[in-house]
Amino acid sequence: MDISVLNHLHLVACGHGTRDPRGQSAVAALIEEIGRHVDSPVHGCSVDVQQPEVGDVVAALDPGSSGVIVPLLLSTGFHTRVDLKRAAHRFPVEDEEDPEHEVMVADPLGPSVRLARLQARRLREAGWEPGEHVVMGVAGSSVLSGRSDAETQRDYLSQVLEVPVSLGYGAAVLPEIGEAVAAARAEGAASVAISSYLLAPGTFYDRLLDAGADRVSPPLLVEGDAEGMAVVADLAVSRAAECAHRFFEGTHR
């Protein structure tokens, strides 16, 4: 993907937001890494909990420029479907008849085979070996497409690991992560590992740790792992470039 399309665009890198200082630090490091991958201004923000809030950042952009909101989120959900679309509409357009000055919303980071490979690495770092049952731990979404995204990511992880993988959710969807671990044991699994499909530490990661598994892999972003950070940052930039290509192709037809 040619990322030169992002030149002169503002990138609004938007995480979920967390009160956990570990999660805040991890996402801040990701936003810094994204800035090293592009020659565009990168503005960090959150959709919930933390400041600055994404809508305020968008509203403060120069109306003579354009931008892309890059969701630092792993699946489609209410935030990507509703909150970020609303935030994009706060862009201060000077000329409503000029279609090239606009803020677009890119796709979320997942599903992605690249993230599945990173999940597999995290599992092995936690001591997983083939033969131990894997449950993929997901935050959960009430949006149907978010559940479909989680199932697709589960399938990617299964393909990478070459073993079956089941799903467990932190909220909104069943089976709840603890139930998924218990079900694996009831079906005969002697040992159960949770693959964390979470970007950073926080409330949902704590739920995975409390789910009763024999081991839980770290989140995708791990302090000090420059390689893993670069994988996620490169994916975020790719999502932004894909969005910009679609937009500019549409405006010049």
Domain CATH number, residue 175? 3.40.50.1400
Q: Are residues 105 and 118 in the same domain?
A: no
Do 117 and 105 lie in one domain? The reply is no
Number of domains making up the chain:
2
Average pLDDT, the chain: 93
User: Do 76 and 144 reside in the same domain of the chain?
Assistant: no
What is the structure's pLDDT at 175?
A: 96
Residues 65, 147, single domain; the answer is: no
Report pLDDT for 77: 85
> In this structure, are 121 and 192 located in the same domain?
yes
Co-location of 137 and 193 in the same domain: yes
204 and 122 share a domain? Answer: yes
Identify whether residues 71 and 121 lie together within a single domain: no
Same domain? 14 vs 77: yes
Q: Cβ-count burial of 78 within 10 angstroms (0-12 exposed, 13-18 middle, 19+ buried)? A: middle
Helix-then-strand count for the chain, H and E: 9, 8
Instruction: Judge if 7 and 102 occupy the same domain.
Output: yes
Q: Are residues 200 and 244 in the same domain?
A: no
For residue 33 the two structure tokens come to 């890494």
Query: For residues 15 and 228, what is the distance between their CA atoms, to the nearest angstrom?
Result: 17
Please identify every stretch of the chain with a pLDDT value under 50, giving residue numbers as ranges.
252-253
Burial class (CB in 10 A: 0-12, 13-18, 19+), 41: middle
Q: What integer pLDDT is reported at residue 95 of this predicted model?
A: 59
Q: Which domain holds residue 174?
A: 113-216
| Nearest of 177, 131, 132 to residue 150 by alpha carbon | 177
Residue-wise pLDDT tens digits, 68-121: 999 999 998 887 888 999 999 998 876 556 556 799 999 999 999 999 999 999
- 169: region left, alpha or beta (phi > 0 left; psi from -120 to 50 alpha): beta
